[in-house]
Structure formats: C-alpha cells, structure tokens
Amino acid sequence: MLRIFGMDVGEPMFLESSHLRFRAGKQLISDVPNAPAMWLTMRRDFDDRLCQLALAAGAVNFTGQALDRILPEQNEIRLKNGTVVTFQVLLGCDGVNSAVARSLFGRAFDPQKIGFGLEIEAPFDPQNPPENVVDVDFSAADWGYGWSFPKRMTTTLGVGGINAKNPAMKQKLRDFLMHNQGKDEWRVKGQYLPFGDFRRRPGRKNILLAGDAAGLVDPVTGEGIALAMHSGELAAQAAIRAVRQNVATSALRHYKRALKPTHRALRQAKIWRLLMFPKPMRGVFQSALASGTGLQEIYLNILAGKAEYKDIKGALVSRAPKAVFRMLRSKPRR
C-alpha cells in the first residue's frame, strides 16, 4: 500500500517515474534519468479512493444530487430534490468553478488572471508501452508549458498557461500533439486553473475555501492536488477548533493563520515566475537549467516538495548574468 498524507490509497493505481526531461520544442534542455520519484495516477481513480475513505469514516454521500443554491446567511445548502442541509461550518472544496465561492464573492475566479489547460489521454499497447518519462516542454504555451505524463494504461498529454496570454490554446495543443504523437485524434478535456491567483481571504466567518476553490495552485507548475489536500486538512482543523469553542464564526480566523506559510510560498513562486515565463527571461532560465548546476537540483527538489521557491530564485538570479553571456555569445555573427 502507498501512503499519501497519512492515508493508505493503494499502490496499484499509481505509476512511479524518476526520469524527467525538459525541452523547448525540438531542443532538449535537460535529461534527468535519476530525478526524485514522482507518482502519477488518473484523477478519477484517485478521487474515488478518497471518496471511499471519507464514506468509510462516516461521511454522508450526496454524490450526483444537483445543487440548487447556497444560503450563507442562513447556514443552508439547498439541493434541487428539495433536501436542505444545514451546517455550522462549511468547507468549500468544490474546485475552480466553486459554487461556494460564487455564493460569497459573486464569482469563482478572476477571468483576467485565470489559467487554462487542455489535455488528452492517449492509450497504448500494454505489450509495447512508451517510455516511462515525465516530459515538460517550456515552449508549448505562453506563461505555461506542455506536458507528457505516463500513466499505467495511457499517456496524458496537454498544454496549459495563463488564459489571457494564449488565445489560440486549441491550436497550441494540436501542434504539441502532432509533435509528440504525430496525430491529434483524441477527445480533448479542458479546465480552468487558478495558477497562483489565490484568495487572500479564503472564505467568510464560518465558510472556508480550500484547494482550487481558494486558488491554491502552484503558479509555476499548475500542480494543485498537494495544496488541495493540505489546505483541506487545515480547513478541517480550523472548523473543528471553532465548533469545539462554540464560536463557528471564528473558523476563518483560525484558517487564515494556518494558511500563512502556504500563502507566503505562493507569493514567492509568483515572483519566481516572473524570472521564468516572460520571453526576455525564458532563454536565461532554460540556459541556466540546462547547465546541470545547483539550479537544476533545486528545481527538481521543488517538484518533489523538498525545497521552496525562495531557494531557486536566488540560484537563478546568481546564474542569470552568465546565462545571458552564453546566449549572446551563441548568436551567429553577421
């Protein structure tokens, strides 16, 4: 059994990969065959396992019942079948299009800052599986990247980035698929991504937002599962504390205090993103990453959750002058 956040989730649904490859289109930036291990799975399987664990712990299952509306002032959730659910503390863990966030703030996210991703699942022959390599393409999207993630029965390929900076995201996906698979015939899935546009005030009184609903997504990688599970745990702890103190409206205060380190890390990541994604800096970052120095090691440790963005920012800034010099020297003379 594999344990994630202290829970036995079952190893068979995961694929382990320790081989990462970074590139910019056809240009190979870095090939790392001994990277920190990454575990890859299908969200449907993973989410179902978490749901089963929750039900086994005593949760009541309302899956499949449509929401009518949320009434924050009355502490009520009304379903379209007439069911009324009351609460002392409500945790909104309902994703980027959060109905809980809309009930509090009028909209779930800022359309000018939101990210967007498109991806497909490419099946493969189990007798002839593809390479077990996590592939990242920094040129596939503006202020974003393309990815190829191996799974047990498919390969997930996609592109994502800041939505406002990628008006032709569908074409970017087609180009990425043609480059990697030679065809683009699969069913496409799309989803908005908060991509670091987190809510400084993640809720109101006794209503808390966690995960994507609170915008808690890494501004560089777009990864949100770890932050969702961590913030969900912090929200639950804040709710328990507020209820035990018989002051349900204090839940947000407890939660905000617990989230401070997470918010600080996300602010650092947003600063670092300015050193990585803008076109004038893109080549500097890629050149520094390709050098195989400490920057690469720090970046891999960030992906593995073993380092923070404040560490890589310093490494990149210290190497930027040399990287710029290498870029200028490599340009052909006229």
pLDDT digits (tens, 9 = 90+) for 97-148: 999 999 999 999 999 899 999 999 998 877 777 789 999 999 999 999 999 9
Domain annotation covers residue 74: yes
Region 280-303 average pLDDT: 77
Q: Which of the listed residues 144, 173, 193 is the one where a domain comes to its end?
A: 193
Residues 257, 284, single domain; the answer is no
Residues 280, 264, single domain; the answer is no
**Residue 324's domain spans which residues?**
274-330
Region 249-270 average pLDDT: 95
Q: How many domains does the chain divide into?
A: 3
Q: Mean pLDDT score of the chain, rounded to an integer? A: 87
Give me the long-range contacts of 286-290 (CB less than 8 A, separation at least 24). 286/22, 286/24, 286/29, 286/138, 287/323, 287/326, 287/327, 288/315, 288/316, 288/319, 288/320, 288/322, 288/323, 289/22, 289/29, 289/30, 290/22, 290/29, 290/30
Domain annotation covers residue 326: yes
Q: What is the pTM of this model?
A: 0.87
DSSP state of 131: -
52, HSE (Cβ side, Cα atoms, 13 Å)? 10
Domain annotation covers residue 187: yes
